[in-house]
Structure 1
Amino acid sequence: MAMIKVLMLSIIGGYIFSKLHIPIPWMLGPIVVLIITQFIHKGELKWPRQLGDLGVVIVGTGIGLRFNIHLFESAGFILLYMFLLNVILIGGAVGIAYLISRFSKMPLRASVLGAIPGGLSQTVLFAERENIGEVGSIFYFQVIRLLLVVMIVPFIVAGQAAGQTGDAKFSVSLVFIIAMTWAFSVFMDRIHFPVAQFIAPIILLIALQLATPLTMPQIPGLVMVIAQLFIGAQIGLKLTPEKVQLPVRVLIGGVMSALALIALTLGSSFIMSFLMDTKFTTSFLSTAPGGIDQMVLLADAVNADISIVSLFQTSRLLFIFIIVMPLLKAIFRWREKKERIYEQKTNVEKVNV
């Protein structure tokens, strides 16, 4: 019953937003309606994580089927631009985290983990493994960033050309491909590959296109609508009343951090647009600090280059998990060691006195 309620609310939200001509309505509608519902409705609301994951797999499959493999012909320049933009974004995020930590009185390392635009679940898991006490605040920062980006960014790029109508036909081959990408994403998730539900289908389908002459099917618009609804329902249930039972400074700090990150990526998108001669929508959505699946869905809705957006969004996630997280871990260890030495020194001095 709890799942049926979420499904009906999501459909209502998607329908209303589609009538208002809001971008990616079948994702934004469920998010907004479910957030509001949770603060006024005391009953149980549930949505299986597997359905949300399936929605992400479908989106990843759609991107993989339409990925422009000719981008690899200029891979050297693209890698250079991705590295440059990642350094700017992560460096800026750390600077924002420092200012927010001063305002919110949060420890710097918790503020940094809250500000870094990476995967929500992986960041929270990292915080737990590092025994950081402010896991709740970090989760709130990540959730509020995701929600604000998903709700604000569409209006920044609104007014652009509408995306494809999705008049492709449903076929048995498409069902087989989705099943195959789902299985591959489950395998990649088990070996702890970041955001496997989205990235794994793209990797698999690019490999198939490069290795075989097979003609790939396209995903019908109705299937993408269902995927949006599944994702929107999952995101909409993340911000529960319990999650906002934090000090007012932390609550305000989370909003300020998210808005500052959006402003930072807006500025960096002009750098990307200049370097690569891309449209504003493509460069902004490539750098926006939202979930990779949501930004690619939005890119599709406004006719941005989904291949470039997915490449740059994926590169940021990999940059965070391969370079930034290990670096943060080493810094945290160094600071803990330094603090222990200082405490020992202080205790010895007290004993001598």
Structure 2
Amino acid sequence: MPDAKTIRLWAALLAASGALTYALVLARFPAASLLGAMLCAIAFGAGGAGLTVHRVAFLAAQAVIGCLVAHAVTGETARTLLADGPVMLLVVLLTVAAGALVGLVLTRLRVLPGTTAAWGSSPGGAAAMVAMAEDYGSDPRLVAFMQYVRVVAVVLSAALVTRFLTDASAAPASPAGEGGGAGSVLVTLAVALFGGLAGHRLRIPAGAQIGPMVIGSILHVSGLARMDLPDVLLEGSYALIGWYIGLRFTRETVRETLHALPGILAATFGVIVLCGFWALALTRILPIDPLTAFLATSPGGLDSVAIIAVGSTADVSFVLAVQTLRLFVVLITGPILARWIARAAPGGR
């Protein structure tokens, strides 16, 4: 049972997040609930509030986002993968190479140890990278700090780009669902529950999200079930993910990594800028708009980019196809790149 101080802090965080979210909604920013909750949580976490979001709640929120992605997936997604697969793979490999290059530079400059720099700069799912980094002997605190600094920077930059590249008079349709009623909501909750549990138990990377995404996509595309995501469920999930990310920025973590912060920030924005160039090149190769290209190449987590993409006028099928492909490529190549960067480090660590 939480004590009175914890309850007051959560009430304050909830109120602050609500106020900032409302301001972001008025400013027409995408993923306002995610942004508002995340920015407020960073302030509370770095201020020493000591609040945490239980991992089960975070996994549940990821499962809901998996259903959101499934609702956005259509037969066009598979056709996009088949038609543009080689180009997508090239973009993914370039993004991974950019992360490896940044990790190598950080190692050479002795900003961070080799394997820590490799995992921290790897453009995959933040939670998966932290878990795998710990398995391979890296400092999980530094990796987590690097990953979540990048997630925050990517979310902010993607939200800004989306805000200014999206015509406010052409707002996208709400991703909440198709008005299928209580039955569709129950189906969606069942997909989130069983898909999330299956993905997590099978130890699939980002399984809590991938499981519902795969099962829900099959049901949705085949017409076997209608997906319906009430606004309150979506907004609550956005906020949980934002709090989970933001509250990781504790006073102790920031203090321990303060000496590496300039290098981490430079590395983060370096990767974002490099991916921005890939996005620009992508618009010259494929008939896609700049916003779709930017979100597809954005080196953020699949969940946060999915939230922004679905709430924008971007080609969601293309964005999600590239982001999902990159997640699996990073998970396969991560250990190899980590060992290579470690060997290239001064002293061979």
Which TM-score applies when normalising by structure 2?
0.86
Of the structure 1 ranges 52-61 and 304-313, higher mean CA displacement relative to structure 2 is found in: 52-61
SS at match of 1:245: helix
Deviation at 1:335, TM superposition (A): 7.9
Higher relative contact order (CA 8 A, sep 6+): 2
SS at match of 1:32: helix
Aligned partner of 1:347 in structure 2 is: none
Q: Distance in 1 between matches of 2:74 and 2:122?
A: 29
Aligned partner of 2:128 in structure 1 is: 122
Alignment CA distance shift 1:45-1:13 (3 Å): farther
Q: Distance in 1 between matches of 2:282 and 2:182?
A: 38
Match of 1:60 among 57, 66, 72: 66
Q: Structure 2: which 5+ residue stretches go unaligned?
A: none
Equivalences for residues 1-353 of structure 1 within 5 A: 1=2, 2=6, 4-5=10-11, 6-40=13-47, 42-132=48-138, 134-159=139-164, 160-161=166-167, 162-165=171-174, 166=176, 168-169=178-179, 170-209=181-220, 212-246=222-256, 248-322=258-332, 324-328=333-337, 331=340
Alignment CA distance shift 1:135-1:63 (3 Å): closer
CA contact (8 A) 1:9 1:34 kept: no
Q: Structure 1: which 5+ residue stretches go unaligned?
A: 341-353
Deviation at 1:334, TM superposition (A): 7.5
Deviation at 1:154, TM superposition (A): 0.8
Deviation at 1:326, TM superposition (A): 4.0
Of the structure 1 ranges 242-251 and 195-204, higher mean CA displacement relative to structure 2 is found in: 242-251
Q: What do residues 213-239 of structure 1 show as CA deviations (whole Å, max 9, x unaligned)?
A: 435233233432222122212222111
Deviation at 1:115, TM superposition (A): 0.7
Identity %: 20
Deviation at 1:52, TM superposition (A): 2.4
Alignment CA distance shift 1:243-1:72 (3 Å): same
Alignment CA distance shift 1:208-1:91 (3 Å): same
Deviation at 1:332, TM superposition (A): 7.5
Deviation at 1:172, TM superposition (A): 2.5
Q: Distance in 1 between matches of 2:344 and 2:279?
A: 34
Query: Which amino acid in 2 is paired with 1:114?
Result: G
CA contact (8 A) 1:86 1:316 kept: yes
RMSD (Å) for aligned C-alpha atoms: 2.6
Q: Distance in 1 between matches of 2:344 and 2:297?
A: 31
Query: Which amino acid in 2 is paired with 1:195?
Result: A
Query: Which amino acid in 1 is paired with 2:29?
Result: I
Query: Which amino acid in 1 is paired with 2:173?
Result: Q
Q: Distance in 2 between matches of 1:317 and 1:12?
A: 33
Alignment CA distance shift 1:273-1:178 (3 Å): farther
Of the structure 1 ranges 3-12 and 192-201, higher mean CA displacement relative to structure 2 is found in: 3-12
Alignment CA distance shift 1:271-1:235 (3 Å): same
Alignment CA distance shift 1:254-1:226 (3 Å): same
Deviation at 1:288, TM superposition (A): 0.4
Alignment CA distance shift 1:167-1:333 (3 Å): closer
Q: What do residues 1-27 of structure 1 show as CA deviations (whole Å, max 9, x unaligned)?
A: 536434444333322322333321111
Deviation at 1:330, TM superposition (A): 5.9
Q: Distance in 1 between matches of 2:45 and 2:344?
A: 40
Count of aligned residue pairs for this structure pair: 335
Q: Distance in 1 between matches of 2:268 and 2:342?
A: 27
Alignment CA distance shift 1:72-1:253 (3 Å): same
Deviation at 1:38, TM superposition (A): 2.8
Deviation at 1:300, TM superposition (A): 1.8
CA contact (8 A) 2:46 2:254 kept: no
Alignment CA distance shift 1:70-1:153 (3 Å): closer
SS at match of 2:256: coil
Deviation at 1:247, TM superposition (A): 5.3
